[in-house]
Each structure stands twice: as structure tokens, then as C-alpha cells.
Amino acid sequence: MYEGVVQDLIDELGRLPGIGPKGAQRIAFHLLAADPVDVRRLAEVLLQVKEKMRFCEVCGNVAEEERCRICRDTRRDPSVLCVVEEPKDVVAIERTREFRGRYHVLGGAISPIEGIGPDDLRVRELMERLADGAVQEVILATDPNLEGEATATYLARMLSPLGLRVTRLASGLPVGGDLEYADEVTLGRAFEGRRLLDA
């Protein structure tokens, strides 16, 4: 145990995903030794991210306003909807410049082991978005791993009575990985070669 607030900092950092006790200690001592200006800037963005950012009411992506930049952009094609697990997948797909439609962020994938079922994802919101018939194609771009595939299978079956075009990204993505790890060219090709799912 360290004296005073240093231990509090280590404890707080240790609570963050991907940071173990050793990493938390290293970051804490790095901050202790760092230039006060840098530390102040870090503290400010930490506060701002909570004050200014929220999740888009329509698609679930991170947004500075009620609706995110993509949902506000009238040039985006409202007839194609790309369903992804996380906001970082939106960033990865945007990088390819292959896709001009809109997104729907689920907030994860189905995984009973982690206690995540469809009610914990933004599935109901997805169904509501599709109700008005404006969307003609839904691209299921969940991760190319088991949980992502199972989520895609589940959604494809939910969507099949709606009579939409339901597609899945072409294989060729690194299997078992995250969408965000695929390079732009591979991901772009996966979009072009997407195939129709028959649920």
C-alpha cells in the first residue's frame, strides 16, 4: 500500500479494462513524475468525455449531440444499414470509405458466458428502426468470431420475416479476431463481396 492518493490512483486505474495491477502502478508513477501541464490536460479530457459525449439516440454510436455525425449527414444512404458490435467498428469501416449507408451499434455480442443476451444489446432499437420500411438492406458486420457469428445468425432469423435483404461480410477477414484488426483493404473487400444470408 502506498501513501495517500497515489494508492487511490492505482486502485482507480486498476479498475479500467486491460490494465492489471502492475500496469496501474506504472501509469500512476509515470503521472507522478510527469509535467503538470500534461496531467492537467489528461484530467480535462477525462472530464470532458463524460460531460460532452454520449451515445447517439438513433444508432448508438458515440456522439457529441443527440445524433451522431453520421446520422446527421443527409448524404448518407438511408436504405442500407450496417450492424456492428462497437463504436470502434464504425471507425474501422469508415476508414475503408467503402460504405455510404448508416450504422446500428449493438453494444456487444451475444455471450451467455458473460451473461449477455439479446435484451442487453440494442436489438429492440434495431427492430424499431426497421419498422418504417425505409431500410432495404441490413449488413451484419459483427466480429468474425464465434460470438459475432452467433449474433449474426440470431439477427438474420429475427429479420427474415421482414423481407429485407440481409447480408453478411464476405469471409476472408481474419477468422476469430475483431473487425477492427482487419486492414482497410481486407475490410473493404469483405464489404464488396458480402453475401446474402438465408436464415
Using CB under 8 A, list all residues that contact another protein: 110-113, 117-119, 123, 146-147, 149-151, 153-154, 157, 174-177
Q: Does residue 110 belong to the site contacting Zn ion (CB under 5 A)?
A: no
Piece of the chain touching Zn ion by CB under 5 A; list 16-24, 39-47, 71-79, 158-166: 71-79
Q: Which of 10, 58, 141, 187 binds Zn ion (CB under 5 A)?
A: 58
Minimum Å gap between C-beta 32 and another protein is 27
Q: Does residue 90 belong to the site contacting Zn ion (CB under 5 A)?
A: no
DSSP letters along 82-139, please? EEESSHHHHHHHHHHT---SEEEE-SS--BGGGTB-GGGTTHHHHHHHHTTS---EEE
Q: How many whole angstroms separate alpha carbon 54 and alpha carbon 50?
A: 8
Contact 7, 24 (CB under 8 A): no
Q: How many whole angstroms separate alpha carbon 8 and alpha carbon 11?
A: 5
Q: Does residue 82 belong to the site contacting Zn ion (CB under 5 A)?
A: no
Residues that bind Zn ion (CB under 5 A): 56, 58-59, 61, 68, 71
